[in-house]
Amino acid sequence: MLKLKVTKVGNSKALILNKEAVARLKVEEGDTLCLTEVPGGYRLTVDDPEFERRMTSARKMAKKWRPLLRELAK
């Protein structure tokens, strides 16, 4: 478990990632992180725009072919 420090930046709050956290997350300055609520806590992950693009495409395909996918699932 890594401990992160919350600090004030202007009127906002910011998390300070120590060297170990940066290495484990494989992040660099300017990267975007996603905080997701999961059962029992939260998950912090690096935002992947390529993955989001693929998921958007998959959702569109699933919506278009919903009747066919329902038949195949039977």
Share of the chain above pLDDT 70, in %: 100
Please report the pLDDT score of residue 13 as a whole number.
Answer: 94
**What average pLDDT does this structure show over 45-68?**
85
Residues in CB range of 58: below 8 A, 6 or more apart: none
Question: Model pTM?
Answer: 0.53
Rounded (5°) CA angle 8-13-17: 90
pLDDT of residue 12: 95
Mean of the per-residue pLDDT values of the chain: 88
pLDDT per position as a tens digit, 39-55: 999 888 887 777 778 88
Residue carrying the six token digits 């170990």: 20
3-state secondary structure of 69: helix
Whether the CB-CB separation of 45 and 36 falls below 8 Å is answered with yes
The amino acid at residue 35 is L
